[in-house]
């Protein structure tokens, strides 16, 4: 039983890594990416190919995957962000980028095309995944609370005003995109070495949309909210194993319902912290005291 829970948790945490990256990008700059599965794919393939064909150390391979995803994000990010595309255009450009990456992966020799790479060694054990996830969350937290994070928030709230305050829009956005792509790449590397088989059809636009869904449902502009949402999203299908087909139907429904009923997301702009919990405890105890 514990073995099974561990497996579910490990996949959930791998998902969390990419979601945290995207939370930093979408939640803090307000730009929408529909192609982040491509960065996961690039990270997964780079790391897998490094350990599979070149027998690189696993941790080095993870970093390489993250770095490669980051570099590729500059290729798409530099021109599109430089041109200051409005968010719809940017979303569609990333959508196209994601599809293009998948087509290229399907047609390269080293990725073995659509057949995929089987037999990748399983290095992503539960403790490894846990530690990497914690590191990523810690770095993301520092990123958000740093000067860069504050600049990103300013850009999201009102980019014209932010620009007038002397913030370089392009730099802030590109930096956030780079960071999120590195996270996605690392997540992809872990993923490849966890389930030991990857093929291009695993990294579709649906996955990109799911990542964005987790960020939105968790609350844009929060780190802990999307983490909680990503964990919940990963846990629900396991609980409702029978309703596997209806899982995505429910996701779509939840997404619309959140937008209609609670557009700030489950947690809004707030961060979950010990304070939230202690606040909750205090409220409930006070309520009890009042009743007595």
Smallest separation, CB 101 to other proteins (Å): 9
Query: Is 73 a residue that touches other proteins (CB under 8 A)?
Result: no
Smallest separation, CB 197 to other proteins (Å): 21
Smallest separation, CB 163 to other proteins (Å): 11
Structure tokens at 109: 């020799």
Q: Which residues are 117's β-sheet partners? A: 198
Smallest separation, CB 174 to other proteins (Å): 15
Asked if 203 and 38 touch (Cβ cutoff 8 Å), the reply is: yes
Query: Is 236 a residue that touches other proteins (CB under 8 A)?
Result: no
Site string for other proteins, 10-39 (x = CB under 8 A): --------------------x-x-------
Structure tokens at 158: 């009102």
Structure tokens at 156: 């999201």
Asked if 266 and 217 touch (Cβ cutoff 8 Å), the reply is: yes
Query: Is 260 a residue that touches other proteins (CB under 8 A)?
Result: yes
Q: Is 221 left (phi over 0), alpha (psi -120 to 50) or beta?
A: left
Asked if 95 and 207 touch (Cβ cutoff 8 Å), the reply is: no
How many of the other CB atoms lie within 10 Å of CB of 83?
12
How far apart CA 21 and CA 220 sit, in angstroms, is: 12
Smallest separation, CB 212 to other proteins (Å): 7
Site string for other proteins, 176-215 (x = CB under 8 A): -----------------------------xx--x--xx--
Query: Is 269 a residue that touches other proteins (CB under 8 A)?
Result: no
Short-list 76, 24, 70, 84, CA closest to 211: 24
Residue ranges in contact with other proteins by CB under 8 A: 30, 32, 76, 79-80, 82-89, 91-93, 95-97, 99-100, 103-104, 106-107, 158-160, 205-206, 209, 212-213, 216, 245-249, 251-260, 263
């Amino acid at each position: 039983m514990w073995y099974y829970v561990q497996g579910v948790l490990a996949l959930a945490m791998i998902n969390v890594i990419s979601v945290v990256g995207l939370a930093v990008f979408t939640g803090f700059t307000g730009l929408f990416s529909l192609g982040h599965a491509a960065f996961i794919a690039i990270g997964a393939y780079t790391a897998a190919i490094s350990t599979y064909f070149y027998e690189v150390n696993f941790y080095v391979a993870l970093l390489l995957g993250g770095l490669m995803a980051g570099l590729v994000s500059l290729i798409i990010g530099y021109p599109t962000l430089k041109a200051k595309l409005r968010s719809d255009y940017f979303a569609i450009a990333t959508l196209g980028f994601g599809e293009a990456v998948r087509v290229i992966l399907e047609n390269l020799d080293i990725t073995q095309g659509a057949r995929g790479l089987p037999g990748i060694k399983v290095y992503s054990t539960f403790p490894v995944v846990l530690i990497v996830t914690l590191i990523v969350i810690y770095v993301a937290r520092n990123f958000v609370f740093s000067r860069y994070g504050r600049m990103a928030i300013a850009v999201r709230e009102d980019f014209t005003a932010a620009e007038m305050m002397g913030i370089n829009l392009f730099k802030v956005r590109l930096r956030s995109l780079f960071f999120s792509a590195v996270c996605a790449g690392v997540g992809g590397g872990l993923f490849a070495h966890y389930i030991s088989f990857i093929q291009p059809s695993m990294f579709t636009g649906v996955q990109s949309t799911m990542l964005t869904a987790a960020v939105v449902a968790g609350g844009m502009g929060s780190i802990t909210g999307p983490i909680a949402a990503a964990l919940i999203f990963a846990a629900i299908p396991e609980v409702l194993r029978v309703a596997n087909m209806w899982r995505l139907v429910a996701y779509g429904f939840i997404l619309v319902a959140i937008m209609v009923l609670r557009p700030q997301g489950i947690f809004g702009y707030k961060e979950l912290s010990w304070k939230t919990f202690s606040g909750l405890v205090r409220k409930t105890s006070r309520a009890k005291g009042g009743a007595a």
